[in-house]
Structure 1
């Protein structure tokens, strides 16, 4: 994981403050499934805290201590009970199962090797109760955009945000795409007036293509029973920006679509 990128959890939340459509989708999935929820790579609790506030017993796993501390702070501030755990989504043994497991907001893409992705899915498989589901989302790779990751530093105006101490913060990104590894290796630069590059953080994210993900899931003992290309449950097409998967354990006794 690109640890430095997540070292300032409040800065991260200001950078990515939205996602209300995604949040509504995951809350609906939790209500549809019922029961207990485990989120792997829960970040600062953007999705899990509202799900817990809806009455679902929730557990959040996060590798970054800073993100986990902010999740605890936010949950305490809202008076919401969540079990927070620090750990690796590839290696988790809680000794109990859950009715719904979530891997949201591209968290899966911090795993770059196929073996790590399969290990994560096998971990999920061990923690699924009978009739339980895994729901995840990752971006849908665009070959056009990946080709533009040419190592040139560019301003991302859409990512600018207001910081209470610094004022307007601008974000520049410099990226290169490693096609053999399917990993975009980038550096993010955060600047404010009079404070250029006050944070410079590497970020590496894998691309997983739509024909590839079902095979990785199968190797992990899971199968996709629903697949969407947007938060309104539209079809996954070439033009879709995201891939959303609903999965069940593979094999005898698994739930159907």
Structure 2
């Protein structure tokens, strides 16, 4: 079940890294569980290895899995440049076919939201359950469906600014959002405006669609797929979930 129609945001892995690679907020929590569980550790939807590589540098045995060949190629290059040994596999997360089971699987970057339908969510969770060892741990994050998140304006809204170090330009990032409450899917257009001396010299647009899942809905979904919730946090620091949270971080054990 390929998700190629939702991969525009990942078409330029180098630019993706420039914008995202500096974020390492998940690393401490993942490291704690890596110590408890051991390896091999599977990073699902690993992208360019933003979390795979730092964990491998700590001495853990990592396997990075992604459906996007370009992101994996970038990940391999980064790991090779750092002389870090990681197994990279191009596979569909809904139908994992790894030779060995794992005591610890994680999925970061809100990648769970790429699975839009109930069937797709069930398939990926069953696939994870099948790949986990007995009492194995699965950790993942997804955006919290609060009102501010879902009711973003359908007009262009400023999001953030970063520096593109390859092109030596500042980039202002804007989004346009349209939420479909029937499908629980938010359709985003991201506009990146490249600046030179304060003037916009180029615009690049990408589209992505993300499924939102409510907490009680997630409880039933995980339980029905053989995953027992151990903890739910509002961030990767382990803070308690609240109505004002932006994220939901789930720590689950194979039942």
TM-score, normalised on structure 2? 0.91
**What does residue 208 of structure 1 align with?**
213
- Structure 1 residues without counterparts, runs of 5 or longer: 251-257
Alignment of 1:91 with 2:95, yes or no, is yes
RMSD: 1.5
Q: Please give the alpha-carbon distance, in whole angstroms, between the structure 1 residues aligned to 2:117 and 2:231.
A: 25
The partner residue of 1:123 within 122, 127, 149 is 127
Alignment of 1:58 with 2:62, yes or no, is yes
Alignment of 1:41 with 2:45, yes or no, is yes
**What does residue 234 of structure 2 align with?**
229
Q: How many residues align?
A: 247
Q: Please give the alpha-carbon distance, in whole angstroms, between the structure 2 residues aligned to 1:16 and 1:175.
A: 20
**What does residue 188 of structure 1 align with?**
190
Shift of 1:183: 0.6
TM-score, normalised on structure 1? 0.91
**How do 1:147-162 residues align onto structure 2 when only pairs under 5 Å count?**
147-148=151-152, 150-156=153-159, 158-162=160-164
Alignment of 1:146 with 2:150, yes or no, is yes
The superposition leaves residues 60-109 of structure 1 with CA deviations (integer Å, 9 ceiling, x where unpaired) of 11111121111111111111111101111111122420010001110111
Q: Please give the alpha-carbon distance, in whole angstroms, between the structure 1 residues aligned to 2:254 and 2:66.
A: 23
**What does residue 170 of structure 2 align with?**
168
Q: Are the counterparts in 2 of residues 101 and 133 from structure 1 also a CA contact under 8 Å?
A: yes
The partner residue of 1:70 within 66, 70, 74 is 74
Q: Are the counterparts in 2 of residues 190 and 200 from structure 1 also a CA contact under 8 Å?
A: yes
Runs of 4+ in 1 over 4 A off after TM superposition: none
